[in-house]
Structure 1
Amino acid sequence: MRIIKKVKEMQEFAGELRLSKKTIGFVPTMGYLHQGHMSLVQESKARSSCTVVSIFVNPTQFAPNEDLAKYPRDLKKDCLLLENAGVDVLFFPDAQEIYPEGFDTYIYPDSLSRIHEGEFRPIHFRGVCTIVGMLFNIVKPHFAFFGQKDAQQAAVIKRMCTDLKFDLEVVVCPIIRENDGLAMSSRNVYLAPKERQQAVKLYESLLHAQKLISEGVRNTNRIVEEMIQIIKGIENHKLDYIRIVNAVNFSEVEMLKTGADYYILIACRVGVTRLIDNELIRF
């Protein structure tokens, strides 16, 4: 596995790959990798002749009160996972390489980034789109792979690619879960043992929502209320939101209708750890 730390070197190597008619698959990450990330790597390897993974903890997507400083890191373990998976290139720049002194240009996504996650993390999607847009220009991928766990983020990035005419395909891959159903996340490491045990109630609430829908319930207020009752079983929690939204434009809906797809979105703090999860509902 080749490790590249400089933007110019990565751009030149990507250019050489494209000239030689190689397809580039790209998995952008913030490191502390788990099987969710590795599922994206496997999808990239299946579709591409060269797989590039980036590790960069992006400071511009964290608000001052968030967990940038303590975000988990383990580069040695990450490199071992990537090498064993057959990744071709690790792009591992430092913050100065990406945001040199005088950096002053950001990508501001509009309406889709202001709702749901955007209400609770106002600068988040600006930072995400800025770094992802930069990485696309550096790595020059044909395919970029993202996880469904960050469903709204994937939709914002797709919108950015459409609006700014990025010549690549964004591929959204299924959520990978622990054996008990908790969505895999680098932040799960923050959970105390009892919190970890109780956090599975987020997934249980999604399963209950699916059961209600399969039984014919279409009123989203009822579905959300019953989900809230399950989540109340988490002793130390703060629910930011449960939203049932159109899977295309992420607008909230009151009634589910045949012929449309929906996401059930959850954001909840368990102890001090903020977790997100979702389920895609297809009719």
Structure 2
Amino acid sequence: MEIIKTVADLDRFLQPLRDKGKSIGLVPTMGALHQGHAALVKQCVGENEVAVVSVFVNPTQFNDKEDFRLYPRNSDADCALLESIGVTVAFVPSVEEMYPEPDTRVFDFGMLDKVMEGRFRPGHFNGVAQIVSKLFYAVKPTRAYFGEKDFQQLAIVREMVRQLAIPVEIVGVPIVRETSGLAMSSRNLRLSEEQRQEAAEIYRSLRLSTDFVNEKSIQETLDFVTNRINQIDGLRVEYFDIVDGNTLQAVSDWNDSAYVVGCIAVFCGDVRLIDNISYKKIENQ
């Protein structure tokens, strides 16, 4: 596996492979890799002739400087994992390499980034679009892989690709969970063992609420999940929204959409965790 730190060196390595018509897969990550990332990477390796994984903690998508400072970093362990999976290139740039000058681009995603994460993390998705577009321009991938745990991010990236007319296939990969049901996340490294057990209640509550479809109202479902989680010491729901899976806008009735998803953010202590669950999903959605 090649470990490359500059865009110029990355282009020098990839251009001969592009010239040969090789398919290139990209998995953008912020490092602190876990088995959830590994699932994305394995799919990328299996579906492409060349697999590139970026490891970069992107400062422009953090609206909380302390969260950026505390974000786990371990590039040596990350690269060892990537090599064991069969990755072709680990792209590990510096902040200065990705932002030689401030990125002043401002994206307009309509209502997609005004709800849920966007409501509580202003500027977050603009930062995501900045770095992901930079990575797409540098790698020129055939396909790029994103975890469905970051459900809103996936929608934002797809819209960005549409707006910028970038020729890349966006592949969503299902959530990978710990045995307790807790969605795998780099932030889980900041949880104590007791907190991990508490945080497992997030998915348990979501899963229980799937029985409510067509039996209880949207509002009753919202109240059930929020109240059940908030009753657990150490957990606090920041938001829980039930939305159309395409527009991300709230639904008030189960019949408002054929694709209905519940998206949640919960603080476990001072660690912010997100998760989601599908309530209704039409075929081939």
Query: What is the TM-score with the length of structure 2 in the denominator?
Result: 0.94
C-alpha distance in 1 between matches for 2:55 and 2:49: 20
Partner of 2:251: 253
Shift of the 259–221 alpha-carbon distance from structure 1 to 2, 3 Å rule, reads: closer
Counterpart of 1:134 in structure 2: which amino acid?
Answer: K
C-alpha distance in 1 between matches for 2:216 and 2:163: 34
Q: Which runs of at least 4 in structure 1 moved beyond 3 Å after TM superposition?
A: none
- Alpha carbon RMSD of aligned pairs, Å? 1.4
C-alpha distance in 1 between matches for 2:140 and 2:168: 8
5-14 or 75-84, which moves further after superposition?
Answer: 5-14
Contact in 2 for aligned 1:107/1:129 (Cα 8 Å): no
Q: Please state how far the C-alpha of 1:258 moved relative to its aligned partner.
A: 8.2
Shift of the 259–225 alpha-carbon distance from structure 1 to 2, 3 Å rule, reads: closer
Q: Please state how far the C-alpha of 1:189 moved relative to its aligned partner.
A: 1.2
Alignment map for 1:96-135 (pairs within 5 Å): 96-100=96-100, 102-111=101-110, 112-135=112-135
C-alpha distance in 1 between matches for 2:166 and 2:73: 30
C-alpha distance in 2 between matches for 1:53 and 1:246: 31
Partner of 1:184: 184
Q: Please state how far the C-alpha of 1:233 moved relative to its aligned partner.
A: 3.2
C-alpha distance in 2 between matches for 1:149 and 1:263: 12
In structure 2, stretches of 5+ residues that fail to align are none
C-alpha distance in 2 between matches for 1:141 and 1:275: 29
Q: Please state how far the C-alpha of 1:25 moved relative to its aligned partner.
A: 0.4
In structure 1, stretches of 5+ residues that fail to align are none
Counterpart of 2:127 in structure 1: which amino acid?
Answer: G
Contact in 1 for aligned 2:198/2:234 (Cα 8 Å): no
- Percent identity over paired residues: 41
Shift of the 218–254 alpha-carbon distance from structure 1 to 2, 3 Å rule, reads: farther
Counterpart of 2:210 in structure 1: which amino acid?
Answer: Q
C-alpha distance in 2 between matches for 1:259 and 1:152: 17
C-alpha distance in 2 between matches for 1:12 and 1:280: 42
Partner of 2:263: 265
Partner of 1:29: 29
Shift of the 52–107 alpha-carbon distance from structure 1 to 2, 3 Å rule, reads: farther
Q: For residue 15 of structure 1, give the secondary structure of its aligned residue in structure 2.
A: helix
Query: What is the TM-score with the length of structure 1 in the denominator?
Result: 0.95
Contact in 1 for aligned 2:175/2:183 (Cα 8 Å): yes
Contact in 2 for aligned 1:15/1:140 (Cα 8 Å): no
Q: Please state how far the C-alpha of 1:10 moved relative to its aligned partner.
A: 1.0
Q: What whole-Å deviation, never above 9, does each CA across 1:232-275 have from its counterpart, x for those lacking one?
A: 23212321110000000001001112871111001011100000
Partner of 2:43: 43
Counterpart of 1:251 in structure 2: which amino acid?
Answer: Q
Counterpart of 1:264 in structure 2: which amino acid?
Answer: G
Contact in 2 for aligned 1:218/1:255 (Cα 8 Å): no
Contact in 2 for aligned 1:198/1:233 (Cα 8 Å): no
Counterpart of 1:220 in structure 2: which amino acid?
Answer: I
C-alpha distance in 2 between matches for 1:259 and 1:70: 39
Partner of 2:81: 81
132-141 or 201-210, which moves further after superposition?
Answer: 201-210
5-14 or 51-60, which moves further after superposition?
Answer: 5-14
